[in-house]
Amino acid sequence: MLLSRKNKSQINMKKPGIFILLISFMACQGEKETKTTDVTTQSDTLTFSYDSVKVISKLPASKEKEIRDTSKAVISFPVFSDKGINDFVLNKVLRSADSGKNYKSYQDYAADFIKGFEDFQKTESERPQNWFLEIRNRIETQKPGYISFLSTYINYSGGAHPNSVFTYLNYNTENHQEILLDSLLIPGTEPRLNSIAEQIFRKNEKLSPTASLKDGYFFDNDIFKLNNNFTITDKGLKFLYNPYEIKAYVYGTTELIIPFKDLKGMVKPNSLLSSYK
């Protein structure tokens, strides 16, 4: 059965929008679904809608008749009138598969995940498992010349718990390029940025300036270091560490914000950050 629902959405490049991520799996057994869910705002430049692909296995998770659950793969993503932005998000999502396979579309990615489950069921039918893949790509922040996406990846294919990864994708709508941290900062300022970030991190974690990071953290050589998973907010540069990245899984994600006032002397002139105060 194929279901489809559409309406138009637009980005207001004057005021930031707020989008709430709702993670859910709702479907009938044995179906494949493509649908569009949109939020409408006023715009004068970019038009977009949210679309999604859903693939559901025809095989039950267990031979037990009372167990009707099965495995699902859902990928949702924005669709812009600008092909360059669409390709940027698509390429980032397909690369997140890290499977060595050359997927061409969201549908290929989702279908291959379900195939993996069905291949597993054929050989391990006595070990009931309910796999799922959930990838949500939503607009986190939008400003003139800038869109930040939050890509939420949740995968369960056996084991003690699902794996989850939250990644910010930053895109320059004027030159149609990905925004990397190095492109925003003056060369040679990374040590200073790390030092400021470490002070904020220690304050957030209630650590003294001299406390060792050896116990309870996974930094290389027990030395604090920022990663490249960032977004630009109204308060400053926001960095996010994923589960297992610097802490045990049970602690979930770790975030820190470096206020714009602390970035003085480090921001490249005429870069996106230079317009923030």
- Rounded Cα gap, residues 234 and 224, in angstroms: 25
What is the span of the domain harbouring residue 95?
9-178
Residue 147, beta-bridge partner list: 142, 171
Assess whether pLDDT exceeds 90 at residue 140: yes
Nearest to 80 by CA among 93, 70, 89, 71: 89
- Three-state SS letters, 70-110: EEEEEEEEEEECCHHHHHHHHHHHHHCCCCCCCCCCHHHHH
157 and 215 share one domain: no
81 and 204 share one domain: no
Mark out the alpha helices in 22-64 (DSSP H runs).
Answer: none
Sign, Cα dihedral of 205, 207, 260, 272: negative
Establish if 2 belongs to a structural domain: no
Mean pLDDT of the 161-169 span: 93
120 and 29 share one domain: yes
pLDDT of 262 reads: 96
Please report which confidence band the pLDDT of residue 20 belongs to, taking 50, 70 and 90 as the band edges: very low
Please report which confidence band the pLDDT of residue 121 belongs to, taking 50, 70 and 90 as the band edges: confident
pLDDT digits (tens, 9 = 90+) for 257-267: 999 999 999 99
Assess whether pLDDT exceeds 80 at residue 103: yes
pLDDT digits (tens, 9 = 90+) for 61-74: 655 555 567 899 99
- Rounded Cα gap, residues 275 and 117, in angstroms: 48
189 and 174 share one domain: no
37 and 157 share one domain: yes
Average pLDDT score, the chain = 82
- Rounded Cα gap, residues 14 and 5, in angstroms: 28
Assess whether pLDDT exceeds 60 at residue 162: yes
pLDDT of 159 reads: 78
Q: How many domains does the chain have?
A: 2
Mean pLDDT of the 238-261 span: 96
Assess whether pLDDT exceeds 70 at residue 142: yes
Nearest to 93 by CA among 110, 116, 118: 110
Mean pLDDT of the 186-193 span: 96
Whole-number Cα distances in Å, 186 to 167, 266, 269, 271, 275: 24, 5, 9, 10, 15
- Rounded Cα gap, residues 85 and 89, in angstroms: 6
- Rounded Cα gap, residues 38 and 121, in angstroms: 36
pLDDT of 130 reads: 85
157 and 188 share one domain: no
pLDDT of 124 reads: 74
Establish if 3 belongs to a structural domain: no
Q: Which of helix, strand or coil describes residue 22? A: coil
Assess whether pLDDT exceeds 50 at residue 42: no
The CATH number of the domain holding residue 213 is 3.90.640.20
Please report which confidence band the pLDDT of residue 125 belongs to, taking 50, 70 and 90 as the band edges: low
- Rounded Cα gap, residues 241 and 254, in angstroms: 5
Lowest-confidence range among 40-54, 114-128, 182-196? 40-54
88 and 208 share one domain: no
The CATH number of the domain holding residue 39 is 3.30.565.40
Those residues with Cβ within 8 angstroms of residue 202's Cβ, 6 or more apart along the chain or in another chain? 208, 209, 211
Assess whether pLDDT exceeds 60 at residue 255: yes
